[in-house]
Amino acid sequence: MKIEAAVVREGKGDFKIETLELAEPSDDQILIKIVGVGLCHTDLTCRDQLYPVPLPMVFGHEGSGVVEKVGKNVTKVEPGDHVVLTFYTCGKCDACLTGDPTSCINSFGPNFMGRAVDGSCTIHDHAGDEVGCSFFGQSSFATHALAYERNTIKVTKDAPLDLLGPLGCGVQTGAGSVLNALNPPAGSAIAVFGAGAVGLSAVMGAVVANCTTIISIDVNPDRLELAKELGATHAINALEVDPVEEIQKLTGGAGIAYVLETSGVGPVLSQAIMSSCVGGEVGIVGAPAMGTTIPLDINHMLFNRKLRGIVEGESNSDIFIPRLISLYQQGKFPFDKLIKFYDLEQINEAAEDSEKGTTLKAIMRLPK
């Protein structure tokens, strides 16, 4: 079938809207009409080849839409269902089978290498040439996308479908890193470095977790104001003061038990580590270029501090995304305050605004 999609054909190149041919769904695939798709940092990282994925490619991995067709082996959803698309996992490895799909050992290829799970290419251009498909099992910068039961989440029809796409990655990552991975107890303290969409989702997650000290650290005063509006009890501008010293002052010199780094900036991770208390835990979700390293004071870590990476908020998306929607509908998780809508044809403008920091979370809205 003919679709319109945003294609990146060269590293650091623009997204170009092209008419492409999308294959019919195979026995295990789901055809979704996309109504909204978020723009994520990972889309831009791969566009710019900081993660060297194959090009050309149709990116997009925060899609939401309506099921149009299903393959004969699909039982999870049916035509007409509203869905959110998320990351792909195999469902067969030890991690998936034991309930930790974010540690799936078979997920890299289907998520990043531009081919469907069976190795085929499902998108071709007007000349019949292959275009990278199935990015995060979806490639949803398009009017239609093919996905799988493993990364298709059925959602309630009384929620605004065009808003929900970022729950599949960025918002899920921030909130889940707090609620699922770090899991701070009620009344505890947490510091979140970076006040982008992921960091602010983490702040909202900390509010849901009933943390009583929530410290947001960033260099953008407008983002810090929004962090306070969303529930941060303290906001630290790292251009004006040393955040490590400020956190020491706020905690009587002890440091923070729970710390999350979302910026992907090496020196900021160093600050996050140095902000942690004895026995504290530091989570990393910010993704810099491959090969980025930081110096680490081993003796600082010896005092029972823990440093860990967190993928997709350590979420079981079938459970977690509907829960976030329920929290949103009850006014307890107002992630809509992060969103700015664009048309698909404005995707380059959305990317530029996101990189400049004037837009927190862009969603390309498509006709229903």
HSE, CB side, 13 Å, CA atoms: give it for residue 345: 2
DSSP per residue, 118-184: TS---EE-TTS-B-B--GGGT--SBSEEEEEGGGEEEE-TTS-GGG-GGGGTHHHHHHHIIIIII-P
Report pLDDT digits (tens) over 308-360.
999 999 999 999 999 999 999 999 999 999 999 999 999 999 999 999 999 99
Full-model pTM? 0.96
| Cα four-point dihedral sign 116, 118, 122, 127 | positive
Report the pLDDT value the prediction gives residue 34, as an integer from 0 to 100.
98
Radius of gyration, alpha carbons of the chain: 20
Residue in this structure with the two tokens 């380059």, named with its chain if needed: 348
User: Amino acid identity of 39?
Assistant: L
Report the pLDDT value the prediction gives residue 258, as an integer from 0 to 100.
98
CA distances from 245 to 231, 257, 275 (A): 22, 15, 8
Closest CA to 200 of 247, 262, 243, 242: 262
Report the pLDDT value the prediction gives residue 287, as an integer from 0 to 100.
87
Q: Which residues pair with 148 in a beta bridge?
A: 29
Report the pLDDT value the prediction gives residue 290, as an integer from 0 to 100.
85
Q: How many whole angstroms separate alpha carbon 342 and alpha carbon 364?
A: 5
- Determine which helix (DSSP H) or strand (DSSP E) holds 207, and give its type and residue range: helix 197-208
Q: Report the Cα 283 to chain-centroid distance in Å.
A: 15
Beta strands in 219-304 (DSSP E): 234-237, 256-261, 276-284
Backbone angles phi, psi at 332, to 5 degrees: -100, -5
Q: Report the Cα 318 to chain-centroid distance in Å.
A: 15
How is residue 38 written in tokens? 């978020």
Report the pLDDT value the prediction gives residue 289, as an integer from 0 to 100.
82
Low-confidence ranges of the chain (pLDDT < 70): none
